[in-house]
Structure 1
Amino acid sequence: MSDNRRSRLDTPRDTRRSLVRRPAYDADAFGSFAEQFARFMGTARFLMWMTLFVIAWMTWNTLAPGDLRFDEFPFIFLTLMLSLQASYAAPLILLAQNRQEQRDKVIAEQDRQANARAHADMEFLAREVASLRMAVGEVATRDFLRSELRGLMGDIEDLSRRGPEDEPGDVTSRGGS
């Protein structure tokens, strides 16, 4: 056999052509239909209409003359119809739940990413506030400046009372008095 005809496990096979074509459908449109169907089946309106339908069916097939009844045996055709409805309803409801679960996963991931960004922003802001506190600790505060100015004013008043010739040296120095 030639190397081209041998199947290898490390390379994927070409897609096979099928003799029977699978029907094409829009998955989103079908999923949307399934969600609407599941949403409708979960309402009181649906239960009311289904109950009225079953009561009408049973009443007709119980009280109507024999030749007008369409479900001769004790409601076998009704049971068959309800079973058929349930066999279609269950997969559609599961499909709707799967789509909701996928949306919930996407939303949860987006929430996780937003929380991570918010956490990083909070850590950054906490570091910035800490650095501002440290910088403010080195800055002269209003009270500190007032006390220094009061001290200088006191020195100036002392100098003005004594006169400049009484105390030699710098006027701004706060040496002992």
Structure 2
Amino acid sequence: MDITNFVKSEDEQLAKLQQIVKQAIAEEKLIVENLLHQPKETLSRGQTISDKVASFGGSWKFIISFSVILSAWILFNTLAPNREVFDPYPFILMNLVLSAIAALQAPIIMMSQNRKEEKDRKRSENDYLINLKAELEVRSLHQKIDLLLEEPIKVLFDSQATQLELLKNIEAKLNAR
């Protein structure tokens, strides 16, 4: 095997490596575009309000302030003179207000939770795309390694075949003498 064939073989190997890299870049382009340019979330006014209600309704600030208001309500209606009491014991108006708050707050919080589930689903899709990108990278690396292992062995085998043929020619010439 002469040097031109060896150089030609090396050039072919580099061309194959370049082709693998180009293919990997093309496969990853869509995934990278989806990850970098995610659609912007547009919230309606109701969704914004439900998020704010859910974040306040599930906080210690709400629990403490609501406990203070209820305690003040009960204390005022039990300790105030009868003519100033607006909700005497058994606090029927307070029960009505609490029921109304619970009836309104529960669906609003559910709307917010549904939106958060949608965000989690989108996050899971992004995780899947990232895993897919990693899998494509691994596949590309396997192809490159296979090529790097396969081509030198082929070149070595061809050079050994050429050397064997040269040895046979030399042996034939020696035997002919």
TM-score, scaled relative to structure 2: 0.60
Name which of 108, 114, 129 aligns with 1:92. Answer: 108
1:88-142 per-position Cα deviation (integer Å, ceiling 9, x unaligned)? 10000000011111111112112212211221221111111121123344678xx
Query: Aligned partners of 1:36, 1:90: CA distance in 2, in Å?
Result: 13
Residue equivalent to 1:109: 125
Letter of the 1:48 counterpart: I
Q: Does 1:79 align with 2:95?
A: yes
1 or 2 for the larger relative contact order (CA 8 Å, sep ≥6)? 2
1:26-65 per-position Cα deviation (integer Å, ceiling 9, x unaligned)? 9622111101110111111110000000000000000000
Unaligned runs of 5+ in 2: 1-41, 157-177
Q: Does 1:32 align with 2:30?
A: no
Greater Rg by CA = 1
Which structure has greater helix proportion?
A: 2
| SS state at 1:71 partner | coil
Query: Aligned partners of 2:88, 2:138: CA distance in 1, in Å?
Result: 74
Residue equivalent to 1:47: 63
Unaligned runs of 5+ in 1: 1-25, 141-177
CA contact (8 A) 2:87 2:93 kept: yes
Query: Aligned partners of 1:29, 1:118: CA distance in 2, in Å?
Result: 39
Q: Stretches of 4+ moved more than 3 A in 1? A: 135-140
Query: Aligned partners of 1:58, 1:136: CA distance in 2, in Å?
Result: 89
| SS state at 1:74 partner | coil
Q: Cα RMSD over matched residues?
A: 2.1
CA contact (8 A) 2:78 2:89 kept: no
Give the paired residue count. Answer: 116
TM-score, scaled relative to structure 1: 0.60
